Amino acid sequence: MFLRTQFESACKGYAAKHQHKHWSWSSGYLSRTSLLHRSSHTLNDGDEDPATAPPALHDLLTVQQYVVYSPTFRVPTFYFTIHDSTGAPLPLADIVHSSLFKFPPDSETTTFALTLPAATFPLLSQGEHPILGTPCWYLHPCESDAAVSELLSEIQQVGWSEEMKLVGWMEMWFMTVGTVLDV
């Protein structure tokens, strides 16, 4: 778990160490923009074989990604928006089928949340970005501290400076989030 000042140090250190991933620190959070391609086929007949279908039409998707401090859980929280090439936000049904996500097929999806089987909270929900005040999707942070701490308990951290420990925590957090997101 982090204090807000530790979160800031961890994020700044992570952004500096992993510049090639294009994360930047500004105004209290990490952010980056990435582009994805969404493919769609125009089929004349619902039974048409995808192998013989016309070439895919590509729609460029813009993904705004944010890592924000959760004062309730005292951990990083992943927020994002995805818009199509016209600037319209994607509905959840399209988001979960984008290349950004790796959700299990037995996930329950509504128009406003995605929940894993037997989970107490939805894994993915809508909410307001805590700093920008804009609508976003976010991954619920409730289990991230336990998951990251378990992974870190397996790593020898002897001789690590405080900054190295904080950056290592962020690296493990990104690895954990990476089980459902292509970050």
The pLDDT > 70 percentage for the chain reads 89
Q: How many independent structural domains does the chain possess?
A: 1
Residue 25 placed within a domain = yes
- Residue 127: Cβ within 10 Å count: 12
Residue 46 placed within a domain = no
Per-residue confidence (pLDDT) for residue 144, from 0 to 100: 87
- Determine the 3-state secondary structure of 49 from DSSP: coil
Q: Which helix (H) or strand (E) holds 25?
A: strand 24-26
What does the pLDDT look like over 70-106, one tens digit per residue?
999 999 999 999 999 999 999 988 888 888 888 777 7
Q: Are strands 124-128 and 75-83 parallel, antiparallel or unpaired?
A: unpaired
110 pLDDT above the threshold of 90: no
Residue 182 placed within a domain = no
Where is pLDDT greater, at 125 or 107?
Answer: 125
Rounded CA separation 130/145 (Å) = 19
Residue 60 placed within a domain = yes
Residue 45 placed within a domain = no
SS3 assignment for 110-168: CCCEEECCCCCCCCEEEEECCCCCCEEEEECCCCHHHHHHHHHCCCCCCCCCHHHHHHH
Domain membership of residue 109 as a residue range:
4-40+51-177
User: Which residues, in sequence order, are bridge partners of residue 138?
Assistant: 79, 125
What does the pLDDT look like over 27-36, one tens digit per residue?
899 999 999 9
Q: What is the mean pLDDT of residues 17-24?
A: 95
The domain spanning residue 79 has which CATH number?
Answer: 3.30.1460
Residue 100 placed within a domain = yes
